[in-house]
């Protein structure tokens, strides 16, 4: 008998009819003799709606209260599904994050999991009860409600799978798996049958929201096999697991785009030791993740410009700190460009292949797109562009690297 975690995203519980459908799917899984723990998101659009409500009340809502509000969406779906299953004669019971013992730190709206006890879930399973757990939420050590960042139900599912040592964590969503690009941007994108944690983590961190990046990090750390598949149609999905020998060593596995970017330029900074440490120390202190950084060669007057990118959601927080530090270090001004985006290529085969970057730059040049910033790692290359070029860039690169046809593969090393 296998223990499976089945997580259903927002569209899969988006209305009552869909809740009926997943109740049937869950019932079928239980009938095959497997033990199941279900994790649910809020109905699609609900977390955004609650976020807007809070910001209609006040532009800077209190973070503790915001989490109380945001976590309510998942309470609705777990109760509705438990009712539905019970009406079909299945002994289902809903659990909030607090009830299953998901303990986090106190960083409201982006809390990190510190501990998962899951004892009530274990007890429920032992009694033959089907647990339906609210995703995206936990409590801090003072029992105050926290949320795990957008897409955080994926993390709840993976964390429960790790704690309960489940055989698999299945993420049901509105696409048939992880593809070579977002199928809503590139209709010819192909499903990738198997991916390593490392590649998936890059894809997620670089904008493929099909899995939350932190959930992939967690899955890799605890070796949780994660399967992404459609809740709307039967069929294979994508298995995310440790790299193994029968995995395709694609030079490029996928193309991804990220609009959640903004560029800050500090103009006229004295070109002397300690300046970058001051500037980035202040930003890091506020838990804002700086991604790409460019420092220009200094002008004749020993002044330079430093540009860097931050998540657009964190721009206001970052700007407050950067302006203050820029003042202290005597910089001339601070400029912001919001309408930028990042396009990235990911593939473990890049480790052993050269020439991918130049081919990427040539493709973007052919499309007459200006590259503002570049960053690379062993298995990815990212370019920052004007936001309006993003979809076209993703489509052009997807074509250039032959991702819709059988893939270019590199040697296994």
259 binds ligand ADP (CB under 6 A): no
Mark 350-366 as b/e (b = at least 16 C-beta within 10 Å). Answer: beeeeebeebbeebbee
- Is residue 23 within 8 A of residue 186, CB to CB? The reply is no
From ligand ADP, ligand ASP, Mg ion, none, interface partner of 179 (C-beta below 5 to 8 A by class): ligand ADP
Close Cβ partners of 88 (under 8 Å, ≥ 6 residues apart): 23, 27
Judged by CB under 5 A, the stretch of 43-51, 100-108, 149-157, 399-407 that binds Mg ion is 149-157
| Token pair recorded at residue 368 | 């007459």
9 binds ligand ADP (CB under 6 A): yes
Phi, psi values for residue 211, rounded to 5°: -130, 135
Q: What is the DSSP letter of 269?
A: E
Nearer to ligand ADP by C-beta: 49 or 88?
49
151 binds Mg ion (CB under 5 A): yes
User: 22: closest CA among 9, 12, 31, 36?
Assistant: 12
Site residues for ligand ASP per CB under 6 A: 9-10, 41-42, 47, 73, 135-136, 150-154
User: 25: closest CA among 36, 41, 15?
Assistant: 36
Among 67, 182, 248, 314, binds ligand ADP (CB under 6 A): 182
Close Cβ partners of 58 (under 8 Å, ≥ 6 residues apart): none
Judged by CB under 6 A, the stretch of 83-91, 182-190, 342-350, 378-386 that binds ligand ADP is 182-190
Q: What is the DSSP string of 123-185?
A: HHHHTT-EEEEESSEEE-TT--EEE--TTTHHHHHHHHHHHHT-SEEEEEESSSS-BSS-TTT
Nearer to ligand ASP by C-beta: 10 or 138?
10
Judged by CB under 5 A, the stretch of 3-11, 16-24, 215-223, 372-380 that binds Mg ion is 3-11
Among 35, 173, 253, 389, binds ligand ADP (CB under 6 A): 173
Among 42, 69, 82, 208, binds ligand ADP (CB under 6 A): 208
404 binds ligand ADP (CB under 6 A): no
Q: Can you give the binding site for ligand ADP, defined by CB under 6 A?
A: 9-12, 41, 151, 173-175, 178-179, 181-184, 203, 208-210, 254
Residues that bind Mg ion in the complex, under the rule CB under 5 A: 9, 151
């Amino acid at each position: 008998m296998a223990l499976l975690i089945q997580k259903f995203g927002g569209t899969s519980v988006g209305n009552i009819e869909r809740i009926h459908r997943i109740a049937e799917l869950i019932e079928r899984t239980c009938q095959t003799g497997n033990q199941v723990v279900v994790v649910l998101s809020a109905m699609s659009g609900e977390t955004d709606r609650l976020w807007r409500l809070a910001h209609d009340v006040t532009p800077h809502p209190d973070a503790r209260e915001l989490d109380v509000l945001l976590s309510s969406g998942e309470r609705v779906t777990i109760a509705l599904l438990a009712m539905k299953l019970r009406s079909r004669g299945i002994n289902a019971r809903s659990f909030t994050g607090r009830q299953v013992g998901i303990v986090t730190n106190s960083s409201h709206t982006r809390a990190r999991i510190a501990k998962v006890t899951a004892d009530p879930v274990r007890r429920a399973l032992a009694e033959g009860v089907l647990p339906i757990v609210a995703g995206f939420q936990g409590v801090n050590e003072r029992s105050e409600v926290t949320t795990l960042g957008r897409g955080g139900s994926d993390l709840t599912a993976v964390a429960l799978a790790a704690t309960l040592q489940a055989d698999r964590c299945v993420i049901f969503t509105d696409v048939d798996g992880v593809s070579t690009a977002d199928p809503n941007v590139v209709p010819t994108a192909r499903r990738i049958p198997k991916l390593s944690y490392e590649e998936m983590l890059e894809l997620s961190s670089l904008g493929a929201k099909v899995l939350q990046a932190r959930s992939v990090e967690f899955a890799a750390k605890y070796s949780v096999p994660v399967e992404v598949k459609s809740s709307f149609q039967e069929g294979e999905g994508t298995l995310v697991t440790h790299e193994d020998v029968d995995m395709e060593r694609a030079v490029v596995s996928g193309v991804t785009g990220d609009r959640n970017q903004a560029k800050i330029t500090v103009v006229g900074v004295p070109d002397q030791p300690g300046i970058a440490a001051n500037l980035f120390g202040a930003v890091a202190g506020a838990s804002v993740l700086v991604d790409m950084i460019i420092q220009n060669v200094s002008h004749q007057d020993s002044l330079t410009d430093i540009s860097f990118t931050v998540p657009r959601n964190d721009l206001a927080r970052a700007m407050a700190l950067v302006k203050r530090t820029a003042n202290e270090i005597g910089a001339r001004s601070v400029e912001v460009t919001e309408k930028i985006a990042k396009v990235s290529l990911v593939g473990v085969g890049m480790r052993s292949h050269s020439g991918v970057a130049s081919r990427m730059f040539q493709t973007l040049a052919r499309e007459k797109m200006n590259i503002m910033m570049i960053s690379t790692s062993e298995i990815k290359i990212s370019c920052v562009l004007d936001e309006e070029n993003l979809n076209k860039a993703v489509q052009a690169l997807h074509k250039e690297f032959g991702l819709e046809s059988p893939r270019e593969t590199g040697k296994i090393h």
